[in-house]
Structure 1
């Protein structure tokens, strides 16, 4: 279920797409490589300001640290200087991420202009210093070490280096896997602060590594391991009002990841595409689970309610992310049907399912593609942990729409505004094209496919 899987469909054979994602990433532009970075930090940028930016732009979506500990590490660094230990490495990563924010790039002609800014060089200086300290962490498996590798992965994702980020998430998850033995389960010492931090970083590393693993297709020899920890992390002590909604968001995101994994397990373990009549029943069950999840949300995270009050910007951002993950789940539900509709030409090869039911699910799959693009549009020009994944998911949706548009039999199932949605993806890819070779390659392909279509359907407008 990634771009390369879609581009391997026979409908795209005539354009000979490049399916070697790893090759494209490894040949990315020099902007990501060979940077001449020194460890000369800009003392004019106050550490407290960098921490504030980190808390507002990174921590609220990944509550895996203790704020009080961070302040203690900062106090130690003021007295003793930046050392070569894990807490110094963590501080440097916090400063690196704080130097990146705020992450909006929409005022620039394209994303690459950011890389020539003092802001970027400052963030790379901090990250380079943190990298030099990571070697000391490799043989340790504590919470602090896991936090360092995770934040390094977040930084690399925000600067569109997904393969390198995945390696960091794998290392962070390896630290987490060593937390528990058979005799020491996650249920033990539930009230301990350290235990709660273990649970939080474990879940966050698991989600981040899995998202990238599925996209990069780095597990090719066997079925993906989609199992997840059985426990929910416990909330930290003394939640303040702002942190409380962040924690509800965190738990809601975990619940959606579980639903998504159940759907993926069904699709790949049960080979649902070989029996779409059975898949139809299962999909209806998944739709009900998604509806139950929506009803379970607290009022502050109601996806349809407007965000008002002092925390409106925060609530809007949290709901924006949840809506994106919910679309992921719907896309997975309907995936077997769009695959069958695009790739099976004759009735004899189509799995047994009524035409009306098949058409309904295919239309839903195509509607999700348009909705994904339209709902993500407000985040097209922001740099953050999920930017590359957003580029990938929206571009995949564009390719699915283009695949269906190239087949006459699916013309009547195309949703409204589908062509306009694809054009929005073109604008998005143009903005980020100089950041990574895969973005530039997919931009050229989308433009080629779009130019080769003739549009007589008013729903494309």
Structure 2
């Protein structure tokens, strides 16, 4: 019999694809029930035979095909499912499989291996041809890292850390394009200043202070003493003081306290011009205090001059009779009371004097161990600076200044110093960075300012005259200020780069850490070598002590801080992680050498801590505890058998005795409850007692 015509074969295929249009009793496709189509009579036998051959396949694919009837059906009426497929044995025999798992009925009867496609496909696609070798490699790797399992768990994290934000590393092309030029040879006119500050802005995750070190796994958890840096002390009975009357506003007393301010505070924070300050003092003494920003500035400088006076210190012009009979802190509080009442009025009228008031108020709070209030004042000063800058920008656009407005009147005794706008900008931002580095505080609004200066403009000092002490002090203050800002740039970049260091680095990660260390160490060496002779200092060797010169003391502290900060990741690596056996011996020796240097710099920072009152004392006391914890962490690591690095470290001689001796020298400072200093002292005693409570 001839095969069925092509049209009939297509109709049969349609029958298999559309079950609801299947063959009915006595009827063909598209025919009414009971009425056969003309072509059914001649090909009925062939149609039935063709249907029998497709019946089994139609049953297996029934659900899948049903879902493809009409793709326009609503989603609620469609259920996507897949019919059970036969095992490979039944598929090879082309017989029906009962799909029992894990072994179908036929394979169980004959003892054949029963394998389903969906079970074997992933293994076949992944391991076919390389399966035995892959399993062998995994077994060898497991044996290799048995002693260092924790380190290798961080391999995915290491890959992410090293692949993202490569511009934050100092050897990247983008970073090299931002490399800073000479500290004192740059005129501040560079156009990349805003880029530097915004790229090195510290955020909440960039802190590297005491709290971060206490989170190291080498220290027992939990720490028995909670350090609250924002705590306020309850006043002691002997020190309760509430100013009920205004302080003296005579010219001589104001001048005496202003001289103390100019000698102790302004060299590190040149936010007020000496000539302008003396003019303000003269106006207040003649006309009495009013509610202006000028009176607020005078009161703040007098308060800072009183609180910064050191035992036995005399003002450059001497102390007139009849004054300075009150304790310094009480006298300072009286002037602070005058200034505090005027801060709100000053903030209500944006201007550079308002920024000056807030900066001086922040310095006052730092002297009083109140970092949160200090940060609030510095942050408001930054916002006020931003507001004032915007207002001046639009005013200058609408009303261009005339030549007379642009002219500046120089002073005979004090020449024009740093531009006030630039000085306030860097003072606000630098102060916020100092606190954000130690505490988890938000970043500054000035980080996003398109500021065209990387350093302030140099002052017009003219010819240096060694006999003019005021001129020489102004020059040294300017040298210090530029070096301090450059150091702040470098510290921020170090913190940003070290943030990328993985917590458990492999050999590749350690090599990357060494590269970062070498680049920043070279930049730090350049910073030190470019210091001007009036503010230079000797590189510490052996035992050291605080320097008598305030500017050199502060800059040496910055130098030691950067040195220790560069070495700190290696101290952490040697004290908390067992370096894998895959790391080369030369790399291990290099890590041990840098970590040993870090321990020595920790001891240097402890020895360099001065008990003299200054606005950075709160930060230095916390650094004292931090460095002591690093030394005790390295000592504690020697008692942990699984760590293989502590035995390679070289510990400073008599470091514990040095800490105890320096702690006694600072005994008058550890009593402060403000800023959590007394809690820091408890943590220090706990660490020195080998983490036991006495």
Please, what TM-score do these two structures have when normalized by structure 1?
Answer: 0.83
Mapped contact 1:426–1:446 kept (Cα < 8 A) = no
Q: Which residue of 1 aligns with 2:646?
A: 410
Q: Residues 72 and 441 (structure 1 numbering): CA distance in 2 closer, same or farther, change over 3 Å?
A: same
Mapped contact 1:85–1:133 kept (Cα < 8 A) = yes
Q: Residues 453 and 217 (structure 1 numbering): CA distance in 2 closer, same or farther, change over 3 Å?
A: closer
How do residues 322-401 of structure 1 correspond to structure 2 at under 5 angstroms? 322-345=555-578, 347=580, 354-376=587-609, 379=610, 381-401=611-631
Q: Which residue of 2 aligns with 1:145?
A: 354
Q: Which residue of 1 aligns with 2:688?
A: 450
Q: Residues 270 and 414 (structure 1 numbering): CA distance in 2 closer, same or farther, change over 3 Å?
A: closer
Q: What is the rounded CA distance, in whole Å, between the counterparts of 1:316 and 1:195 in structure 2? A: 22
From 51, 56, 62, give the equivalent of 2:258. Answer: 51
How do residues 5-24 of structure 1 correspond to structure 2 at under 5 angstroms? 5-13=212-220, 16-22=223-229
CA shift at 1:331, angstroms? 2.0
The reply to whether residue 26 of structure 1 matches residue 262 of structure 2 is no
Highest RCO, 1 vs 2 (Cα 8 Å, sep ≥ 6): 1
Between 1:351-360 and 1:332-341, the stretch displaced more is 351-360
From 225, 233, 246, give the equivalent of 2:477. Answer: 246
Q: Provide, for residues 295-335 of structure 1, a one-character-per-residue CA deviation record: whole Å limited to 9, x for no partner.
A: 111222221299xxxxxx99822111101011121122122
From 199, 208, 214, give the equivalent of 2:431. Answer: 208
Q: What is the rounded CA distance, in whole Å, between the counterparts of 1:237 and 1:319 in structure 2? A: 23
Structure 2 gap segments, 5+ residues each: 1-207, 314-324, 395-399, 409-415, 463-470, 541-545, 639-644
Q: Residues 31 and 215 (structure 1 numbering): CA distance in 2 closer, same or farther, change over 3 Å?
A: farther
Q: RMSD across aligned C-alpha pairs, in angstroms?
A: 3.7
Mapped contact 2:268–2:477 kept (Cα < 8 A) = yes
Q: Which residue of 2 aligns with 1:294?
A: 528
Between 1:325-334 and 1:188-197, the stretch displaced more is 188-197
CA shift at 1:149, angstroms? 0.7
Q: What is the rounded CA distance, in whole Å, between the counterparts of 1:403 and 1:119 in structure 2? A: 40
Q: What is the rounded CA distance, in whole Å, between the counterparts of 2:582 and 2:222 in structure 1? A: 25
How do residues 101-120 of structure 1 correspond to structure 2 at under 5 angstroms? 101-104=308-311, 118-120=327-329
Q: What is the rounded CA distance, in whole Å, between the counterparts of 2:294 and 2:226 in structure 1? A: 41
Q: Which residue of 2 aligns with 1:430?
A: 667
Q: Which residue of 2 aligns with 1:441?
A: 679
Q: Residues 256 and 4 (structure 1 numbering): CA distance in 2 closer, same or farther, change over 3 Å?
A: same
Q: Residues 351 and 276 (structure 1 numbering): CA distance in 2 closer, same or farther, change over 3 Å?
A: farther
Q: Residues 86 and 132 (structure 1 numbering): CA distance in 2 closer, same or farther, change over 3 Å?
A: same
CA shift at 1:184, angstroms? 5.3
Q: Residues 244 and 18 (structure 1 numbering): CA distance in 2 closer, same or farther, change over 3 Å?
A: same
CA shift at 1:272, angstroms? 8.4
Q: How many residues align?
A: 430
Please, what TM-score do these two structures have when normalized by structure 2?
Answer: 0.56
CA shift at 1:43, angstroms? 5.9
Q: What is the rounded CA distance, in whole Å, between the counterparts of 1:232 and 1:362 in structure 2? A: 33
| Bigger fraction of residues in helix | 1
Q: Residues 273 and 227 (structure 1 numbering): CA distance in 2 closer, same or farther, change over 3 Å?
A: farther
CA shift at 1:439, angstroms? 1.8
CA shift at 1:353, angstroms? 8.1
Mapped contact 1:31–1:435 kept (Cα < 8 A) = no
Aligned-partner SS, 2:613? coil
The reply to whether residue 36 of structure 1 matches residue 242 of structure 2 is yes
Larger radius of gyration between Structure 1 and Structure 2: 2
Q: Residues 316 and 303 (structure 1 numbering): CA distance in 2 closer, same or farther, change over 3 Å?
A: same
CA shift at 1:293, angstroms? 1.2
Q: Residues 295 and 206 (structure 1 numbering): CA distance in 2 closer, same or farther, change over 3 Å?
A: same
Q: Residues 139 and 15 (structure 1 numbering): CA distance in 2 closer, same or farther, change over 3 Å?
A: same
